[in-house]
Amino acid sequence: MLLVDWLIVLVYFLILIAIVWISSRKQETADDYFLAGRNAGWFVIGCSLFASNVGSEHIVGLAGQGAVSGVGMAHWELHAWIMIMLGWVFVPFYYTTGVSTMPEFLEKRFGETTRWILSIVSLAAYVLTKVSVNVYAGAIVFETLLPGSFQSLGGPFWVGAVTTVILTGVYTIFGGFRAVLYTDSAQAFILLIGSALITWIGLGKLGGWGELQTFATTQGMDYALWRPMDDPDFPWLGILMASPIVGIWYWCTDQYIVQRTLAAKNLTVARQGTIWGGFLKVWPVLIFLVPGLIAAALDSKGLIELPLNAKGTIDGDKVFATMVAEMLPPGLRGLVIGGLLAALMSSLSSLFNSCATLFTIDIYQKLRPNSPQKTLVSVGRVATALVVVAGIAWIPILRSLSEDSGLYRYLQNVQAYLGPSITAVFLMGLFWTRTNEPGAIAGLVVGFLMGLGKLTVEVLYKVEKPETLLEQVAGFNFLYCSGIFFFVTVVLVAVVSKMASPPDENRIAGLTWYSIDKKTVRDSWSTMDVINTAIVLGLVLAIYVYFSFWTMG
């Protein structure tokens, strides 16, 4: 990187510091710190939803998956339709009940025990996935762009990891959720512009979209959106099972995402924010995944040289950084690196704040209900610092786990194991009135143990040619696992709920689809909201149709 690139990155950090300073001046109550005073607009909410989702693991991991497996992972990036579901189906429940966290909503619907379980499971999942994955992705870029640097401090990987996570932790600790929302708004457009530039320049060097499609056609089913049932990685049935399950968990029930909508001025603004966020979410396939395909095509022509892993195949996690280093001119390189840092820091800041919110409101405040508001803010800051340390501690293990399958695939594996039970409990709680606390507890506990068990066996026993039972379990496809875990949880929740007394109808009033105040919900949306929703869904459908046939020539 040249001086001009570093100057652009420096300007980016100075702007962040200014935003944090302005945001930190009013952080007196828990609502100020954790939900930005519940006064955010639809534009800020939508940008924050997008920027929080699209972290460095998306830019780095998706480019790698594009180079290695084409558009097979695109299904997870076409979840704009599930963001629409968040706004139209789930947010009305969260907003009308006035909750601050997802565990708090479960407590209202089922009871206090479910709140504790979801809080602990969510915090564990954040450390295993979001914190460590984001930091690892950013560190990989530093390692690729600055080879041989900072050897006395452990090398560019660890210098990059520690520096970015500490800087992000500092501005999250002091700026609170208001800083997260406003920095996300700026970072969303840096992400879009930077990634669009690398796509455009890469296509120009390759010779246009036609050349890319020709290359994808030569790869056949290896680059297809829909794969045969016997495909070891992305069988079409497994995708149909797992993608919606994980998507509903992530977009509709995860504190990390839903917290943005809870900061809205009202229900109308919250829904409009999800629609705007859904529109932004349509584009990652084209500007994050496609660059990986472009890189593979350029590599096949000898126009760039992609790094290889120990097996002699493309090292997917280093594809994006290689494109930046070899293809972009000075200045643009700094802008794209700024975009990557924006992705890393926006996701981390959102995550840190969500972790602090979960710990402070769902754990600390439950233990000390009379704590002053300023004490809650201080506890939230300490919780953020602890999550930072835990995420860094997990990175060495993550590094070994992602070597074979790639960073983005690792992320989807873990989410496929931990998400199904939460999805099942939320859906059944909203749409089946008979679901009660014993059923929800059984579903959450057993589901979490199944997911954690599969992940543990995978870490300890996964081999290329499984022979023993544990090795076969370790190698069982993660997509099918997700579907099985969801089905088992649904059956378990139904059986246990039937064995116990039904919930008190008065206590769960407004917490199920049949008892929510439908007039309030109806008054919160307009014809324009419906039109904008149709536009987003139409774009998702168009991309699905196009990429379903694009490798057929």
Most confident of 55-69, 93-107, 365-379, 382-396: 93-107
Whole-number pLDDT of residue 26: 59
Distance CA 486, CA 61 (A): 26
Total residues belonging to the chain: 553
Distance CA 185, CA 191 (A): 10
Residue 314, phi then psi, degrees to nearest 5: -60, 130
> 């997917």: which residue's tokens?
316
Whole-number pLDDT of residue 405: 59
Answer whether 327's CB lies under 8 Å from 202's CB: yes
Question: What angle separates helix 209-219 from helix 290-300, to the nearest 10 degrees?
Answer: 80
Whole-number pLDDT of residue 326: 82
Question: For 246-279, how does the pLDDT look when each residue is reduced to its tens digit (9 = 90+)?
Answer: 999 999 999 889 988 988 889 999 999 999 999 9
Mean pLDDT of all residues in the chain?
A: 84
> Model's pTM, two decimal places?
0.87
Q: Which pair of tokens denotes residue 477?
A: 């496809």
Distance CA 347, CA 411 (A): 14
Query: Which one is predicted more confidently, 378 or 17?
Result: 378
Distance CA 337, CA 343 (A): 10
Locate all alpha helices (DSSP H) within 36-90, ordered by sequence.
42-53, 56-69, 74-77, 80-85
Distances (CA, A) of 43 to 65, 285, 532, 535: 30, 22, 14, 17
Backbone CA torsion sign across 246, 251, 253, 20: positive
Question: For 400-434, how does the pLDDT look when each residue is reduced to its tens digit (9 = 90+)?
Answer: 666 665 666 777 888 899 999 999 999 999 999 99
Q: Which pair of tokens denotes residue 151?
A: 């050897």
Whole-number pLDDT of residue 226: 93
Whole-number pLDDT of residue 389: 78
Distance CA 336, CA 285 (A): 17
Distance CA 183, CA 20 (A): 8
The pLDDT of residue 81 is above 80: yes
Question: For 462-487, how does the pLDDT look when each residue is reduced to its tens digit (9 = 90+)?
Answer: 877 888 999 999 889 999 999 999 99
Whole-number pLDDT of residue 110: 96
Question: For 198-209, how does the pLDDT look when each residue is reduced to its tens digit (9 = 90+)?
Answer: 889 999 999 999
Whole-number pLDDT of residue 447: 95
Question: For 84-96, how does the pLDDT look when each residue is reduced to its tens digit (9 = 90+)?
Answer: 999 999 999 998 8
DSSP 504: P
Answer whether 78's CB lies under 8 Å from 543's CB: yes
> 């001009």: which residue's tokens?
4
Answer whether 297's CB lies under 8 Å from 36's CB: no
Residues forming beta bridges with residue 314, ordered by sequence position: 308
Whole-number pLDDT of residue 173: 64
Distances (CA, A) of 299 to 68, 213, 253, 288, 303: 12, 15, 41, 18, 6
Residue 170, judged by CB atoms within 10 A of its CB (0-12, 13-18, 19+), counts as middle
Answer whether 372's CB lies under 8 Å from 30's CB: no
Closest CA to 66 of 333, 58, 31: 58
Closest CA to 28 of 384, 365, 374, 369: 374
Residue 357, phi then psi, degrees to nearest 5: -65, -45
Residue type, 445: V
Q: Who contacts 409 (Cβ-Cβ below 8 Å, separation ≥6)? A: 61, 65, 73, 233, 402
Whole-number pLDDT of residue 269: 96
Q: What is the 3-state composition of the chain as percent helix, strand, coil, each rounded to the nearest 5?
A: 80, 0, 20
Question: For 238-252, how does the pLDDT look when each residue is reduced to its tens digit (9 = 90+)?
Answer: 999 999 999 999 999
Query: 155 falls in which pLDDT band (50, 70, 90)?
Result: low
Closest CA to 478 of 132, 281, 245, 223: 245
Residue type, 448: F
Q: Which CATH superfamily is domain 3-13+38-398+518-552 in?
A: Sodium/glucose cotransporter (1.20.1730.10)
Distance CA 344, CA 160 (A): 11
For the chain, what percent of residues have pLDDT higher than 70?
A: 85
